[in-house]
Amino acid sequence: MSVDVPLTAEDVLRIAACKDRGPSREAMVIAYGYHRIACDLARHLGRAANNWYCYATWTSKAVGESLDLRPGSPFLTDFGRRLGVPRRLRRLFRGALLTLLGPSYQLGLALANRAIFLETASLAVALWKDDSPGAYLKVRAGGEAEMPPEFLSDLLEDADERYLRDAAELFAEARAEQDPARRAELMLGANIALSAYEQKRAQKALELVLYRPVRWLTRVSWRSARSLVTGRPFRRFRLYSAPHERQPWLTRVLEQAWAGLYTRRLFSVRTPVSDIRVGRPLAAPPAVDAARAWAPIRDDRVRKLAAEFVPEDVEAATAPVANWVTYEDRMRFIVSYFRMYQTVGALYDPPFDPALAAELHEEMAAGLLPEAVDALPAAGRSRKGRLLPRLRRRTYRYPTETDPDAYEMARFDFEPFLEAIALDASGR
pLDDT in single tens digits along all 428 residues of the chain: 556 788 988 899 889 888 778 889 999 999 999 999 999 999 999 999 999 999 999 999 999 998 888 888 888 888 888 888 888 888 888 888 888 887 778 878 888 899 999 999 999 998 876 544 467 778 876 655 555 566 676 778 889 989 998 999 999 999 999 999 999 999 999 999 999 999 999 999 899 889 989 998 999 889 888 888 888 877 777 888 888 999 999 999 999 999 999 898 888 899 999 999 999 999 999 889 989 999 999 999 999 999 999 998 999 999 999 999 999 999 999 999 999 999 999 999 999 999 999 999 999 887 666 655 443 333 333 333 332 333 333 444 433 332 223 334 555 666 667 777 776 544 44
pLDDT attached to residue 105? 80
Using alpha carbons, list the distances in angstroms from residue 48 to 116, 184, 320, 345, 416: 26, 8, 28, 7, 41
What's the one-letter identity of residue 240? Y
Neighbours of 221 (CB within 10 A): 13
pLDDT attached to residue 425? 47
Alpha carbon distance 13, 389 (integer Å): 23
pLDDT attached to residue 144? 54
Asked if residue 27 lies in contact with residue 61, where contact means CB atoms within 8 angstroms, the answer is yes
- Rounded to two decimals, the pTM is 0.87
Length of the chain: 428
Asked if residue 49 lies in contact with residue 342, where contact means CB atoms within 8 angstroms, the answer is yes
Q: What angle do CA 295, 298, 299 make, to 5 degrees?
A: 135
In sequence order, which residues have a C-beta less than 8 Å from that of residue 135 and are 6 or more positions away?
9, 122, 126, 392, 420, 421, 422, 423
Alpha carbon distance 4, 74 (integer Å): 32
Helix, strand, or coil (residue 182): helix
Asked if residue 282 lies in contact with residue 276, where contact means CB atoms within 8 angstroms, the answer is yes
What's the one-letter identity of residue 231? G
